[in-house]
Amino acid sequence: MNRSVTTMAIAFGATFLVASAIYWEFADPAWLAGQSGSAGHASVRLQALYVLIVWLAFAGVAWWLRRRATRPLQRLQADLQRIDPGNPLQRISHQPETPELDGVVDSINALLGRVHDELGRLDHFTAQVAHELRLPLTLARLRLDKAAPQLPEALVEDLVAEFERLSRFVDQTLLLAKAEQGNLPLQRGRMDLHALLGPVVEGIALMAEAQGRSLEMESESAWIDFDPDYTKQIVYNLLANALRHGTGTIRVRLRSRSGKVRLLVVNPVRAVPSRRGSLGSGQRIVAALAALHRGMRVRYRCFGRLHVARLVIAAAES
């Protein structure tokens, strides 16, 4: 039952109310005799009150039916909005009370499956390209080191910086491909995220200072049981994204409450990121590494010009 049906039902009830009141008013002999205060008018008022109660009950039932009919669609819409475009492994669950939507849910899940397959083929191709680039980059770097004494120092520094940038890009591409395919082995270990966060924050703070910005941190001891290397990679990417795409002060807060460790990275941004931005390599690496750990999730939200990255991790058992 959609909104137009509900509107028609309420309009019908209102028309029924008005028509009934007019009928009982003109059908009362006391009104025809000019006796406005007679018992007949009291009867008319009772009839009008009865019709009003019936109309309100009719409108209430119509509203309840509309809410009940649209609730499954609202849940389906909420499930769709929660899907991260960078993680097509997610699926929409069926709703037992509305089997008529099973076909729609199956079609959506099939579409997500095809998107995942296409991304898998693309990532496999990208990983192959990155792997093939490793050897030429290594040979070129060795030749550059050998020829460095005969070249201007400034040129050598520029070329070394470019080789390092390309090498980092290749490494990140291979890491992303392996993470999204689930081919990264995890070495879990108990650690204090506060201690792991310190060196990363220190390095980002120095780079922020070079840009005329600052970094503020509020942190406390927070014990977790995850892979330290990949956890450090996740934290570094979150802070690096805030440095690369944000402006102003970067605020970092680490808290451990109720069995959950929460890391917030907050900073102003030049423009509100679009949903397409969630497909960037940095955020894709974070999403893939977090999904591998099972017990770690990351969310991004914007409040006006303020961007918030939230990392939630299950705390280690004491």
Query: Which tens digits make up the pLDDT trace of 119-155?
Result: 677 666 766 777 677 777 788 888 888 888 888 888 8
d(C-alpha 209, C-alpha 281), whole Å: 25
Encoded tokens for 218: 């509020």
Q: Which domain holds residue 151?
A: 100-180
Does residue 199 sit within a domain? yes
Closest CA to 48 of 10, 21, 16: 21
Q: Quick one: DSSP state of residue 267? A: E
Same structural domain for residues 142 and 250?
A: no
Residues 226 and 195 in one domain: yes
Please indicate, yes or no, whether residues 198 and 308 belong to a single structural domain of this protein: yes
**Do 116 and 76 have their domain in common?**
no
CA distance 307 to 33: 76
Is residue 71 helix, strand or coil? helix
CB 217 within 8 A of CB 156: no
Whether 63 and 131 share a structural domain: no
Q: Is 45 part of a structural domain of the chain? A: yes
| Residues 200-231 pLDDT 10s | 999 999 999 988 999 999 988 889 988 888 89
Domain-located, residue 298: yes
Angle between helices 281-293 and 228-245 (to 10 degrees): 150
Cα separation of 60 and 38, whole Å?
A: 34
Would 37 be classed as within a structural domain?
yes
137 vs 143: CA distance, rounded Å:
10
In a structure prediction context, what are the per-residue pLDDT tens digits for the chain, which is 318 residues long?
Answer: 445 555 666 666 666 666 666 655 555 555 444 455 555 556 656 666 766 777 777 777 777 777 777 777 777 777 777 776 656 567 777 777 667 777 777 888 787 777 777 767 766 676 677 767 777 778 888 888 888 888 888 888 888 878 777 777 777 777 777 776 666 777 888 889 999 898 899 999 999 998 899 999 998 888 998 888 889 989 998 998 888 888 889 999 999 988 899 999 999 887 655 544 444 567 778 887 887 777 888 888 888 888 899 999 988 876
In a domain, 144, yes or no: yes
Burial of 82 (0-12, 13-18, 19+ CB in 10 A): exposed
User: Rounded distance, CA 7 to CA 130, Å?
Assistant: 60
The DSSP letter of residue 100 is G
In sign, the C-alpha dihedral spanning 205, 208, 214, 217 is: negative
| CA gap 66, 61 in Å, rounded | 9
Q: Which amino acid is at 219?
A: S
The verdict on residue 93 lying in a domain is no
Domain identity same for 213 and 302: yes
Torsion of CA 240, 131, 289, 200, to 10 degrees: -30
Same domain, 193 and 215: yes
Is the domain of 199 the same as that of 277?
A: yes
Residues 198 and 290 in one domain: yes
CA 242/CA 155 separation, integer angstroms: 31
Choosing from 126, 155, 180, the residue where a domain stops is 180
Whether 254 maps to a domain, the answer reads: yes
**CATH code: domain of residue 272:** 3.30.565.10
Tell me: do 166 and 196 sit in the same domain: no
What is the CATH number for 150? 1.10.287.130
228-245 vs 193-210: helix axis angle to the nearest 10? 30
Q: Are 298 and 193 members of one domain? A: yes
- Nearest by Cα to 9 from 50, 42, 55: 55
> Which SS3 state, helix, strand or coil, does residue 262 take?
strand
Residues 28 and 139 in one domain: no
Q: How many separate domains does the chain show?
A: 3
Task: Please provide the size of the chain in residues.
Answer: 318
**What is the C-alpha to C-alpha distance for residues 230 and 221, in angstroms, rounded to an integer?**
19
Q: Is the pTM of this model over 0.85?
A: no
Domain-embedded: residue 92: no
